[in-house]
């Protein structure tokens, strides 16, 4: 089976992001397979289910697919056209050896849908001869069981290429997502897209854990919590400006406004923390903080948040 001249896409990681976008792409007619970790591939027997809800706890419209292709053996996949990485960035160091059997040098296109900074750089170092892209997912989705994902807000995806080197490939990726009914934009300047995504991820993912397991609605309902959100956003705005990325105040306000509409949403970092999984500490908070130090920029709220998250992650 072929789609748009490409005969195979493999999604690495059947978590919330991998399941949600993979289901949408599969529904569009694209042949999609999943690479799961060892011992986490048996959900193929029960199929793949996506619950589409209007807000957390809302009424669901469900999609189900049987005969889903899932394996924990990358050698069974062979060289492929599209390799989409949706695992947590905390596992990148151990993931490289599992990706290489699926990569055809100079042909396979790699797209990371991971949070934070440094993921595209890691992929480029791993396969320097292949096109590397990164996608920023503005979406509310949680995996509630193996092969089962809930979506509360469809949001959008922004896709750009590493150092803006492969715009044609990024646009091709956008077409795949658009054909699947996913709202998507090409990001001609990937660095700009990354900083804009951190305007949400740094405060809401971080504070949901640091404040003791709060959903986004509770963070915003508390005046002190909302003030910390806005303060962290301002620090990200300042950092981005030093790196040549202008983020206006209207964008920051839009991130707050859309979060109100999410309702009682549990950010992915809170889900990971409560499940005993490590936080994506360096990709989301550590790398931006390191850049702040390199530029001589004082970010006291980010420094404090990074410290609290480091302690929480280490104690667990």
Number of domains in the chain: 2
Angle at 174 between CA 234 and CA 266, to 5 degrees: 45
Burial 146-164 (b: 16+ CB within 10 A, else e): bbbbbbbbbbebbbbbbee
Q: Is residue 180 part of a domain?
A: yes
Statement to judge: residues 102 and 177 lie in one domain: yes
The string of pLDDT tens digits covering residues 155-185 is: 899 999 999 999 999 999 999 999 999 999 9
Q: Is residue 4 part of a domain?
A: no
The string of pLDDT tens digits covering residues 58-87 is: 677 899 999 899 999 999 987 899 999 999
Mark which of 130, 164, 188 sits at the end of a domain.
188
Statement to judge: residues 165 and 65 lie in one domain: yes
Statement to judge: residues 211 and 146 lie in one domain: no
Instruction: Look up the pTM and report it.
Output: 0.87
197 is catalytic: yes
Statement to judge: residues 58 and 110 lie in one domain: yes
Statement to judge: residues 239 and 170 lie in one domain: no
Q: Residue 99: what pLDDT?
A: 94
Statement to judge: residues 150 and 212 lie in one domain: no
Query: Which residue out of 197, 218, 226, 308 is catalytically annotated?
Result: 197
Which CATH number is 46's domain given? 3.40.50.720
Statement to judge: residues 211 and 279 lie in one domain: yes
Query: Which range has the worst mean pLDDT, 36-40, 44-48, 246-250?
Result: 36-40
Domain range for 256 is: 192-315
Mark which of 156, 188, 220 sits at the end of a domain.
188
Statement to judge: residues 146 and 164 lie in one domain: yes
Statement to judge: residues 173 and 197 lie in one domain: no
Averaged confidence pLDDT in the chain: 92
Decide which of 55 and 145 is more confident.
145
Q: Residue 3: what pLDDT?
A: 37
CA–CA separation, 11 vs 95, rounded Å? 13
SS3 113: coil
Q: Quick one: DSSP state of residue 3?
A: B
Q: Residue 316: what pLDDT?
A: 62
The string of pLDDT tens digits covering residues 199-241 is: 999 999 999 999 999 999 999 999 999 999 999 999 999 999 9
Band of the pLDDT at 23, cuts 50, 70, 90?
very high
Statement to judge: residues 14 and 138 lie in one domain: yes
* Residues of the chain above pLDDT 70, percent: 95
Mark which of 146, 164, 188 sits at the end of a domain.
188
Q: Residue 202: what pLDDT?
A: 98
């Amino acid at each position: 089976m072929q789609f748009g001249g490409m005969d195979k896409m493999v999604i690495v990681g059947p978590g919330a992001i991998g399941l949600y976008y993979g289901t949408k792409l599969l529904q569009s007619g694209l042949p999609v397979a999943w690479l799961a970790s060892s011992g986490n591939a048996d959900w193929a027997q029960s199929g793949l289910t996506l619950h589409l809800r209007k807000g957390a706890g809302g009424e669901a419209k469900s999609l189900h697919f049987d005969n889903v292709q899932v394996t924990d053996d990358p050698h069974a996949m062979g060289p492929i056209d599209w390799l989409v990485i949706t695992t947590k960035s905390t596992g990148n160091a151990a993931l490289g050896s599992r990706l290489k059997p699926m990569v055809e040098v100079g042909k396979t296109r790699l797209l990371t849908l991971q949070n934070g900074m440094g993921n595209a750089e890691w992929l480029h170092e791993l396969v320097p001869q292949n096109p590397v892209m990164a996608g920023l997912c503005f979406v509310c989705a949680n995996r509630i069981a193996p092969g089962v994902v809930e979506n509360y807000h469809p949001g959008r995806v922004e896709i750009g290429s590493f150092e803006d080197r492969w715009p044609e490939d990024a646009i091709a990726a956008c077409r795949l997502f658009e054909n699947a009914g996913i709202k998507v934009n090409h990001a001609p300047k990937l660095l700009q897209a990354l900083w804009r995504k951190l305007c949400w991820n740094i405060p809401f993912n971080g504070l949901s854990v640091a404040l003791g397991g709060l959903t986004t609605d509770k963070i915003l309902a508390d005046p002190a919590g909302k003030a910390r959100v806005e303060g962290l956003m301002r620090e990200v705005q300042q950092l981005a400006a030093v790196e040549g990325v202008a983020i206006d105040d209207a964008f920051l306000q839009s991130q707050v406004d859309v979060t109100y509409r999410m309702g009682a949403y549990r950010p992915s970092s809170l889900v990971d923390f409560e499940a005993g999984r490590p936080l994506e500490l360096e990709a989301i908070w550590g790398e931006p903080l390191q850049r702040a130090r390199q530029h001589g920029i004082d970010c006291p709220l980010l420094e404090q948040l990074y410290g609290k998250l480091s302690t929480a992650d280490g104690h667990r």
